[in-house]
Amino acid sequence: MKTIRQLMMALALLLPLVAANAASMTYTLQVDGLACPFCAYGIEKKLSSIKGVAKVDVDIKHGLVVVTMTEGAELSEQLARDKVKDAGFTLRSFSRIP
Amino acid sequence: MRKPVLIRPVTEAAKWSHRGAIMLTVLFSGTVWAHDPIFGLGPHVLYKGGVEVHLDAERDKAGSHREDAAAVELTYGLTGDWAAGIELPYARMEEGSASASGRGDISVFTKYRFWRHDTLGVQESTAVLLKAKTDTGDDNAMPALGTGTTDTILGLTYGYESIRWYRWASLRYRHNGGNDAGLRRGDKVLFDLVGGWRPTPPSYYEPDTVWLLELNGEYGRRAELNGADLANTGGTEWFLSPGIFWTQRNFAVKAGIQIPIASALNGNQQKTDYRAKLALEWHL
């Protein structure tokens, strides 16, 4: 009985997280010019400053930047392009991960 | 009225006799930026709104002359391609048995990256640098901690940076002003060719190391005292300079040493034994 109660509690805790992840949008930015981690820090700084951005992941080797938004927030391509430019790089492509 | 004017040039001439007015021109002209060479100039700037805090320590040894300097540099990113900042140096000089320490000459600088070509994993760019060294150091100390002049530096640089290889080329011209005593250090031309190699592919969250090898050339015109050339000043020096650039995310450590490989200094001057530089840098 105790085990069932514990499982129910864990499920109750996990459900909102699962729901939030399902509702949050993720975008993939192909960024040209990314050649070193120290320089790429500017990308993280600029994109993280956008309202609604929950997480920024940078993959230097493949020139990819993955931006995860908070629930309900969206990222426009133009805003992403501007922020990448402010960081000193060039946005080649922008796509939303389904 | 003329007596102090006559006395001071003699003092100044003696002050500069050993190194021919070369030393100070070098030590306070080495603004280092982000992923740029240690001694040369690269086209890196800073992201818009970013702040770079840079701590720098240098040693310049030439015969009986030793010069140590530490500096704090603060840089601000005006746009993604344009940055400006200020350099606040603290210097310690030794000339034989005499030594002095205190505030060096403050500099202000700006760099504009006017061309950039980005492709996957590669950034090529060209930038121009303008730097002004003010007359704010203690030039009455013996040896002098400041030059007593306002100098300007104009630089042009090209850089190619990829995930594996780096290369830079730069040219700088330094125009030195004259001081109250009629001494004008000779203008300088600095030329740099730099290669860099990253042994392991970078990962954003892991420490990253780049090895550098620089070829630095310096040509200095003769200094003038009241319009007359000083014989033991000016000339050419070439250096081979290995260095390392280690970073972890927004923190960097840079270190390098300039080893003289050739020199043609005018008259009787002490040749450079070595120059070393260590820098810590944060991007905020």
Task: Give the model confidence (pLDDT) of B14-24 as tens digits.
Answer: 444 444 444 44
Q: Give B35's contacts in chain A (Cβ within 8 Å).
A: 36, 38-39
Count A/B contacts: CB-CB distance under 8 Å: 106
Cβ partners under 8 Å of residue A97, min gap 6: A25, A26, A27, A28, A66
Question: What single DSSP character describes residue B64?
Answer: T
Q: What domains lie within chain A, and their CATH numbers?
A: 24-97 (3.30.70.100)
pLDDT at B281: 94
Cβ partners under 8 Å of residue B47, min gap 6: A41, A42, A43, A45, A46, A86, A87, A88, B77, B80, B283
Q: What b/e sequence results for B68-97 when a residue is b if at least 16 CB atoms lie within 10 Å of its CB, and e otherwise? A: bbebebebbbbbbbbbbbebebbbbbbbee
**Could you give the number of structural domains in chain B?**
1
The nearest CA of chain B is from the CA of A85 a distance in Å of 6
Residue B3 in this model has a pLDDT that exceeds 70: no
How far apart CA B199 and CA A66 sit, in angstroms, is 26
Which residue of chain A is at minimal alpha-carbon distance from B123? A33
Neighbouring CB atoms inside 10 A of B3's CB total 7
**B119–A37: do the CB atoms touch at under 8 Å?**
no
Strand, helix or coil for residue B134: coil
The nearest CA of chain B is from the CA of A18 a distance in Å of 26
pLDDT at A14: 44
pLDDT at A63: 94
Residue whose token pair is 């030594």: B99
> Out of B80, B206, B249, whose CB is closest to A86?
B80
Q: And the tokens for A29?
A: 């930015």
pLDDT at A11: 47
pLDDT at B27: 47
What are the tens digits of pLDDT across the range B204-237?
A: 889 999 999 999 999 999 999 998 999 999 999 9
CATH number, domain of B29, equals 2.40.160.40
pLDDT at B30: 57
> Out of B163, B250, B283, whose CB is closest to A35?
B163
Range from B26-30, B133-137, B167-171 carrying the lowest mean pLDDT = B26-30
- Is the peptide bond between B143 and the residue preceding it cis, with omega within 30 degrees of 0? yes
Question: What single DSSP character describes residue B233?
Answer: -
Strand, helix or coil for residue A40: helix
Q: Give B33's contacts in chain A (Cβ within 8 Å).
A: none
- DSSP-derived pairing of the beta strands B274-283 and B51-62: antiparallel
What are the tens digits of pLDDT across the range A23-82?
A: 689 999 999 999 989 988 999 999 999 999 999 999 998 999 999 999 989 999 999 999
pLDDT at A46: 95
How far apart CA B131 and CA B110 sit, in angstroms, is 6
> Out of A42, A86, A89, whose CB is closest to B118?
A89
What are the tens digits of pLDDT across the range B153-193?
A: 999 999 999 999 999 999 999 999 988 888 899 999 999 99
Between the alpha carbon of residue A45 and those of residues A13, A35, A54, B119, B250, the distances in Å are 31, 17, 12, 21, 10
Across the range B76-90, mean pLDDT stands at 94
pLDDT at B20: 41
- DSSP-derived pairing of the beta strands B98-103 and B107-119: unpaired
Q: Phi/psi of residue B243, each to 5°?
A: -155, 170
Residue whose token pair is 């060479």: B37
Cβ partners under 8 Å of residue A67, min gap 6: A26, A27, A28, A29, A47, A53, A55, A56, A75, A80
With an 8 Å Cβ cutoff, the interface of chain B facing chain A consists of 34-35, 44-50, 77, 79-81, 113, 116, 118-123, 161-163, 198, 201-206, 208, 210, 247-250, 252, 283
pLDDT at A76: 94
**Window 21-60 of A, Cβ < 8 Å to B:** 30, 32-43, 45-46, 57-60
Range from A61-75, B31-45, B115-129, B243-257 carrying the lowest mean pLDDT = B31-45
Question: Which band of pLDDT confidence, cut at 50, 70 and 90, is reported for residue A4?
Answer: low
Q: Give B205's contacts in chain A (Cβ within 8 Å).
A: 37
- DSSP-derived pairing of the beta strands B224-225 and B98-103: unpaired
Half-sphere exposure of B116 (CA within 13 A, CB side): 22
Residue B135 sits in which domain range?
Answer: 3-283
Element (H, E) at B3: helix B3-17
pLDDT at B33: 61
> Out of B80, B248, B250, whose CB is closest to A88?
B80
Q: Select from B58, B34, B54 the least CA-distant residue to B44.
A: B34
Q: Select from B87, B94, B26 the least CA-distant residue to B277.
A: B26
What are the tens digits of pLDDT across the range A13-25?
A: 444 444 445 568 9
